[in-house]
Amino acid sequence: MAIIRKTGISSRIFYKPVQRHIPYLYIRIIKNERMKLLKNLLLSALMLWGGVCATYAQEKTTTAGVPVVKLNNGVEMPRFGIGTFLQPSDEVCEQSCLTALKAGYRHIDTAHAYQDEAGVGRAVKESDIPREEIWITSKLWPTEYGEGKTLKAIDEMLDRMQLDYIDLLYVHQPVGDFVGAWKDMEKAVKMGKVRALGISNFDANDEVWNTIMQAATIKPQVLQMECHPYAQRVEMRKKAAAEGIQVECWFPLGGAMSNGALFKDPVIKKIAEAHGKTPAQVILRWHIQEGFSVIPGASNPDYIKENIQIFDFQLTDDEMQQMRSLNKEKRFFNATLEDVEKMVWGQGCKSGERGKTGWLINNNGKHASCHVSRCRLLCTLPCFTRMSQSGISQTAGRRSSPSPHRDCLA
């Protein structure tokens, strides 16, 4: 039963309860238009503030402040990690990973081709950090591709690292039977041996991209490719976004072949000075604010620690726009698919020369010998041969006395 009482300002509706212990409900109907407007403005402000608070509350980070992204399969991945390509040795890789884990890293990117997976596995065990808190990524080389063959390669990978599962597994290069490999990778996911799947260097052309997308039952969760302020890969990012695929960047600082070009850029240097940071830290911070995952490589302990110290400052909107304006779509690693095939299938470092293979992993899972010892994997490409022979460091241009392995190719 309702009783309506009218007053000069408002009307009140009293709902008389059926039982005495239920309190009266008062609904006040505001007639004054000014009061209505004020009420609506107040509600809008509260909703906006609540939305902002909710956004920040929902942003998940690791204990070191690294943002975590939820991949398209629901699995969560730290967006910042260390890459282990071109570590001087398996033992050095182990120490680099331990340094990184102590500094707050929780994401390590390796590959069978890097020959340092065992070092990664030892570091994980020695760190005493719970396995579930560390994200481990590795990659299959094309000689391991093929339905039936790839499952065996995954078991061997787990054995090398002494792990029960891999968090993210890539097909490393878009050559060979990567479709057959993908089918086995999907089986590995169902078996609990792998949590997420990715494609590395599938930005090569539309054909390889479309082939893997059409063949995949489990869509890729991550695309790994070269990406930095000079090559922001706008079109590839659109393609990845359309499929809900997270982009992860190798060569985030330009790599050895850039000769430190990004570190010398006046725009980046000016922004770094404004924040009291290094150019490298500004570049990595830009990657994070753009939504990328990023895996700078380093073996120098100082650089490993410096790289992750990017979560105590933020680039302004204007600074982000300045960084975006640097885009030239200028890549520093320009290997064609033909070059990659030569790397994989045993072509020599010089045209027509055979037997001096660099990135080749033979059918026994072993690396073939390389005439440039430090460049165990990539001597088939002239640029990497020059890097190895001349001792050009991964930190070229960053400091007066650069140390090796600052920004390694993943």
* Domain layout of the chain by residue ranges: 2-58, 70-324
What pLDDT is attached to residue 357? Answer: 40
Please give the backbone phi and psi of residue 331, each rounded to the nearest 5 degrees, phi first: -85, 150
> Could you report the per-residue pLDDT of 154-200, keeping only the tens digit for each?
999 999 999 999 999 999 999 999 999 999 999 999 999 999 999 99
Catalytic residue numbers, as ranges: 114
Average pLDDT over the chain, rounded to an integer:
80
Do the bridges between strand 68-70 and strand 2-6 make them parallel or antiparallel, or are there none, so unpaired?
Answer: unpaired
What pLDDT is attached to residue 407? Answer: 52
Give the class (CATH, top level) of 70-324: alpha beta
What pLDDT is attached to residue 159? Answer: 98
In the chain, % of residues over pLDDT 90: 65
Can you tell me whether residue 342 is helix, strand or coil? helix
**26: pLDDT strictly greater than 80:** no
Rounded Cα distance between 257 and 395, Å, is 10
| pLDDT confidence bin for 108, thresholds 50/70/90 | very high
Give one DSSP letter per residue of 95-134, joined into a string: HHHHHHHHHT--EEE--GGGT-HHHHHHHHHHHT--GGGS
Cα dihedral across residues 117, 202, 192, 167: positive or negative:
positive
Please give the average per-residue pLDDT across 17-43, as a whole number: 48
Please give the average per-residue pLDDT across 99-119, as a whole number: 97
Rounded Cα distance between 104 and 93, Å, is 17
Cβ neighbours of 132 (radius 10 Å):
8
What pLDDT is attached to residue 256? Answer: 85
| pLDDT confidence bin for 13, thresholds 50/70/90 | very low
**24: pLDDT strictly greater than 80:** no
Range in 58-67, 124-133, 137-146, 377-386 with the lowest mean pLDDT:
377-386
The separation between the first and the last C-alpha atoms of the chain, rounded to the nearest angstrom, is 73
Please give the average per-residue pLDDT across 35-53, as a whole number: 46
Identity of the residue numbered 232:
Q
What pLDDT is attached to residue 32? Answer: 55
Please give the average per-residue pLDDT across 359-375, as a whole number: 39
What pLDDT is attached to residue 343? Answer: 83
**109: pLDDT strictly greater than 60:** yes
Nearest to 201 by CA among 218, 178, 219, 183: 178
What pLDDT is attached to residue 39? Answer: 52
Q: Which residues contact 158 (CB under 8 A, 6 or more apart)?
A: 164, 165, 166, 193
What pLDDT is attached to residue 344? Answer: 87
Please give the average per-residue pLDDT across 356-366, as a whole number: 42
Rounded Cα distance between 126 and 98, Å, is 8
The size of the chain, in residues, is: 410
Looking at per-residue confidence, does 4 or 95 come out higher? 95
What angle separates helix 266-275 from helix 279-289, to the nearest 10 degrees? 90
What pLDDT is attached to residue 334? Answer: 86
Nearest to 234 by CA among 326, 318, 304: 326
**Half-sphere exposure of 330 toward its Cβ, with a 13 Å CA cutoff?**
13
